[in-house]
Chain A
Amino acid sequence: MSTVSRLARATLAKDLRLEWRSKDAINSMLFFSLLVVVIFSFSFDPTAEESRRIAGGLVWVAFLFAAVVALNQTWAREMRNQVLDAYRVSPAPPNALFLAKVMGNFIFVTVLQALMTPLFIVFYNLRALGPAYQLPIVAALGTWALVVNGTFFAAMSLRTRSREIMLPLLLFPISIPALLAMVEATGAILTGEFSAKFWIVLLAAYDVVFTIASLFLFGFVLQAE
């Protein structure tokens, strides 16, 4: 087992243990997503057809905003007692830390999605008219796109004064292609009007490019003052 993989697993286990004890990220994310679902369902009363058209956008906006909460938490934990410095002075490779954080956030957002999806289905009367088996693929690729960029930019904004504002400012513009692909793919699957394949391929390509770029650049971000 390589050093990166061993340390990534150890760091991920540590993060999951910390989250299990504090429940900081998951509680905030759940509360936020729940608010979005309930408020939107009260604000308009769409027909099933309309719901299918707008659900893609609605679902991903809710997950995107909720993910930002988790992304801020993930590094805030490392800043308390300056624990990040203990990692920086160690010979451990930066990529192990980055991968662990990405996987941790991926798990948190996936748990959130698993909990919130039934609510979305009930509140918006959703049913997939297209190939439903593609939905988990879109969810996994879309979530990865959000957390890879989010984890990277959250680390970048760590040492800025207003990092909670900085993260969305950096993350949202660069996530537009991925968001577009997620929304379109989800809409295509729910309505069954067109194929989602192009958007899924775009999302996969986006994930590959940004994962490689983030892994390449994270060392500089971690060691930056």
Chain B
Amino acid sequence: MPPAVVVTDLVKQFGRFPALRGVSAEFSGGKLYAILGDNGAGKTTLLRALAGLTPPTRGIISMLGTTDLRSVCGQMGYMAHPSLLYDEMSGMENLGYFAGLYDVHNTDQRCTEVIRAVQLDPSLTRPVGQYSQGMRQRMSLARALLNDPKILLLDEPFSNVDLRSVREMVSLLTGLRDAGKTIFVVTHQASLLEGAADECVWMEAGQIASRTSDLAARSETP
């Protein structure tokens, strides 16, 4: 099976600051990748480049067999550190709007499904701006799942989420992985993905420093 994502010599320069310095990697489909590293290691930049939000200065990204990311963006789900939701609208209203962007059929049914999948109540009418941070994160994940994407790009999905909700989110993600989705999770809280991630991708100074099959193996790599 060809890899779901191939990155070749990816460079991203912000002014004189190189955020990514020649990243090359192949990622197989149907796996959950934890992208780990210190602040400024280039994790978020890599994820935004994969999402097509940050055009690389140099290098090639191939996703689902094509380098034209625009043509496969309907098969991607992206969750950023901010919620990407309108604070003044309810969860259902938000998802209803975004479902339209992906031409999702049976909008109400699909919105209800994904809201329930992230353990929220679809009948909540209060605006998202009044949600707790954890609820907002989960609604944001629901938004990323709306179009039933083949590739999920998640940036810090567990920040400010309580431990019980994190476990539920991780369980949801492993379920999606088992259903054949390719999932990238950028996180500082590596321990939360212990046992769930198929591979840990460690980044340092804009490069992939190592790839390990589990968190513990990192200490063994040079």
Which of A's residues lie within 8 Å of B, judged by CB? 3, 6-7, 10-11, 14, 17-18, 21-22, 77, 80-83, 85-92, 223, 225
Q: Is B74 an interface residue (CB 8 A)?
A: yes
Measured CB to CB, the nearest residue on chain B to A93 is B101
Complex Cα spacing A90 to B144, Å = 10
Query: Which listed residue (A7, A22, A92, A225) contacts B88, Cβ 8 A?
Result: A22
* 27 A-B residue pairs with CB within 8 Å: A3-B103, A7-B101, A10-B97, A10-B100, A14-B89, A17-B89, A17-B93, A18-B88, A22-B88, A80-B87, A81-B82, A81-B84, A82-B82, A83-B84, A83-B86, A85-B53, A86-B78, A86-B98, A86-B101, A88-B52, A88-B53, A89-B76, A90-B74, A90-B101, A91-B70, A223-B55, A225-B54
Q: Is B143 an interface residue (CB 8 A)?
A: yes
Complex Cα spacing A86 to B101, Å = 9
Complex Cα spacing A14 to B103, Å = 16
B83 touches A91 (CB 8 A): no
Interface size of B in residues (CB-CB distance below 8 Å): 28
B55 touches A89 (CB 8 A): no
Instruction: Tell me the minimal C-beta distance from A75 to chain B in angstroms.
Output: 13
Known: A18-B89, A91-B74. A85 touches B100 (CB 8 A): no
A87 touches B101 (CB 8 A): yes
B102 touches A83 (CB 8 A): no
Measured CB to CB, the nearest residue on chain B to A79 is B82
Which of B's residues lie within 8 Å of A, judged by CB? 51-55, 70, 73-74, 76, 78, 80, 82-89, 93, 97-98, 100-103, 127, 143
Instruction: Tell me the minimal C-beta distance from B111 to chain A in angstroms.
Output: 14
Instruction: Tell me the minimal C-beta distance from B153 to chain A in angstroms.
Output: 9
* Extra contacts besides A11-B97, A17-B93, A91-B74 (7): CB < 8 Å: A7-B101, A14-B97, A21-B88, A81-B86, A86-B78, A86-B101, A91-B73
Q: Which residues of B contact A86 (CB under 8 A)?
A: 78, 84-85, 98, 101, 143
Query: Which listed residue (B84, B88, B100, B101) contacts A82, Cβ 8 A?
Result: B84
Number of cross-chain contacts by CB at 8 Å = 70
Complex Cα spacing A202 to B127, Å = 45
Measured CB to CB, the nearest residue on chain B to A84 is B84
Most buried by B among A7, A82, A89: A89
Q: Which residues of A contact B70 (CB under 8 A)?
A: 91
B52 touches A81 (CB 8 A): no
Measured CB to CB, the nearest residue on chain A to B85 is A81
A85 touches B73 (CB 8 A): no
Instruction: Tell me the minimal C-beta distance from B98 to chain A in angstroms.
Output: 6
Complex Cα spacing A131 to B217, Å = 83
Measured CB to CB, the nearest residue on chain A to B71 is A91
Known: A18-B88, A85-B53. A91 touches B102 (CB 8 A): yes
Query: Which listed residue (B80, B89, B97) contacts A85, Cβ 8 A?
Result: B80
Q: Which residues of A contact B51 (CB under 8 A)?
A: 89
Instruction: Tell me the minimal C-beta distance from A155 to chain B in angstroms.
Output: 16
B97 touches A90 (CB 8 A): no
Most buried by B among A10, A81, A92: A81
Known: A82-B82, A85-B53, A85-B80. A6 touches B100 (CB 8 A): yes
Measured CB to CB, the nearest residue on chain A to B143 is A86
Q: Which residues of A contact B80 (CB under 8 A)?
A: 82, 85
Q: Which residues of B contact A223 (CB under 8 A)?
A: 55
Instruction: Tell me the minimal C-beta distance from B186 to chain A in angstroms.
Output: 15
Complex Cα spacing A86 to B81, Å = 12
Q: Which residues of B contact A21 (CB under 8 A)?
A: 88, 127
B82 touches A89 (CB 8 A): no
Known: A22-B88, A81-B87, A83-B85. A89 touches B78 (CB 8 A): yes
